[in-house]
Amino acid sequence: MPELEIAAMQAHTDLTGAAAVLAVALGCGLLIGIERERRKGSGPNRAFAGLRTFALTCVVGAAAALTQLPGLVVTGAVLVTALTAVAYWRDRSDDPGATTEMALLLTYLIGVLCVWSLPLAAATAVGLTGLLAGRQRLHHFASQWLSEGEVRDGIILAALVLMALPMVPNRPLWGPVLNPYVIVQLLALLLAVQSLAHLCRRLLQARHAVAFSALASGFVSSTATIATLGLAAREGRSGARMMAGGGLLSCVSTQLQLLLVAAAVQPAWLPVLWVPALAAALLAAAWGWWLVQGAPAELADAAVSSPRIEGLPGAGGDRMFSLWGAAAVAALLSGIQVLVHGLNLWLGQAGLLVGTLLGALADLHSTLAALFASSGGPVDAAAALPVMLALAVHAGSKSVTAGLVGGRAYLGWLAPGLWAHTGLGIGLLVWLA
């Protein structure tokens, strides 16, 4: 008797699961079919599949998979493929696309997928419906909104992320530095951030474009962002106050990236760094936003050349990034890590300190990454001293760059906020360490 009860319960469970699979498959087919029915048209040029066809196709796929007969699933796929081929061959419209035919085949596969994963099948159905419903906007985006240069840069970035990155080896060539995978990943990040800055210029008003573009550019190089904004202020393309506000907002990215570097390289630093970094970031964000919002209206609303990094074109350019400029920045950051690691091996703690100070003149994050990787003991005042010195040296480097490139007015607006948030971060770090 217990065996019969167990068998009955198992049969009931299987029946309930099969009913759930068929119900989800029906819902997915109806969702896709409703969208196709609205675009089916009428008359001799109407599409061959609508609401009922898509719903039945998805249920057929689920039913075939429930039988657990691979041959039946393959046979169903072949029949659906043959049906779509015949429908495409008989299409007499002026623009015989294959969207409905391919959607019907994918709908059958979604039904099959319902047996393996209901959430994944439902998500695929929703994604397919959204793709079909966005036909006009997608066509306008591809043919009208995107420029030729943006398409070319998008292809380069996709090839780098999807093809080159998975193929490079993921192991350091010298101690903890010179990892080819990390270098290519850094290059992809540089290009992605530059692309984001380009999109900010196209989509946002002048004030917001400067703010968000500077914030994104700061994740690549805050010093380069400050120099570019200072050049725009010196040339009269925008006001010194608004450009200085953008420069301070790029420092927010510097503080946030400091935490990201610590989390990736040496998480033991996070309990000491998170309060100083977040406090400094909040102060820089508030001060920078106040400068941007308080800029004179006639200067803020004028056309500006938004922040660009290592050759990224200004307003009106159709290129999203500079590949060679990003490669040069990636090489610089990797070289700084090699310098700090080499000095540490050669001179010990003194070499680590010298390398940190020299590296902080050009880039803070790669220098601190090497510093974090080299620190193996507890985080105390002695260990935090090179970090504090690097923060101060980096702020001094930004000030000199701002004065030389942007002039006295630009430096006058930038320097107080720059040193205030840097001093706050160093003070809190001294207190916690």
The pLDDT of residue 378 is above 60: no
Provide mean pLDDT across the span 336-360.
Answer: 63
Separation of alpha carbons 398 and 330, rounded Å: 19
Strand partners, 174: 177
Q: Are 242 and 410 in contact (CB under 8 A)?
A: no
The pLDDT of residue 306 is above 50: no
Entry field: residues in the chain: 433
Tell which residue, 312, 293, 188, 184, has the closest CA to residue 244.
Answer: 293
| Alpha helices, H only, 175-312 | 180-203, 206-234, 240-265, 270-293, 297-300
Structure tokens at 74: 């393959």
The pLDDT of residue 81 is above 60: yes
Tell which residue, 210, 219, 211, 159, has the closest CA to residue 314.
Answer: 210
Q: pTM of the prediction?
A: 0.56
Q: Which of 201-205, 224-228, 235-239, 292-296 has the lowest mean pLDDT?
A: 201-205
Structure tokens at 151: 């398409």
| Structure confidence by residue, pLDDT tens digits, 143-183 | 777 777 777 888 888 888 888 888 888 887 776 667 788 77
| Structure confidence by residue, pLDDT tens digits, 22-59 | 999 999 999 999 888 887 655 555 666 778 889 999 99
pLDDT of residue 281: 92
Structure tokens at 238: 């925008």
Q: Which of 143-147, 210-214, 288-292 has the lowest mean pLDDT?
A: 143-147
pLDDT band at 97 (very low <50, low <70, confident <90, very high): low
Q: Which residue has the higher pLDDT, 56 or 268?
A: 56
pLDDT of residue 143: 73
Structure tokens at 202: 């196209």
pLDDT of residue 111: 93
pLDDT band at 417 (very low <50, low <70, confident <90, very high): very high
Q: Which of 180-189, 261-270, 354-363 has the lowest mean pLDDT?
A: 354-363
Q: Which residue has the higher pLDDT, 128 or 146?
A: 128
Structure tokens at 252: 């927010």
Provide mean pLDDT across the span 76-80.
Answer: 89
Q: Which of 252-266, 291-305, 332-346 has the lowest mean pLDDT?
A: 291-305
pLDDT of residue 151: 79
Cα 404 to chain centroid, rounded: 33
The pLDDT of residue 299 is above 70: no
Q: Which residue has the higher pLDDT, 322 or 317?
A: 322
Cα 4 to chain centroid, rounded: 56
At 177, is the secondary structure helix, strand, or coil? Answer: strand
The full DSSP string for 356-375 is: HHHHHHH-SHHHHHHHHHH-
pLDDT of residue 56: 92
pLDDT of residue 295: 65
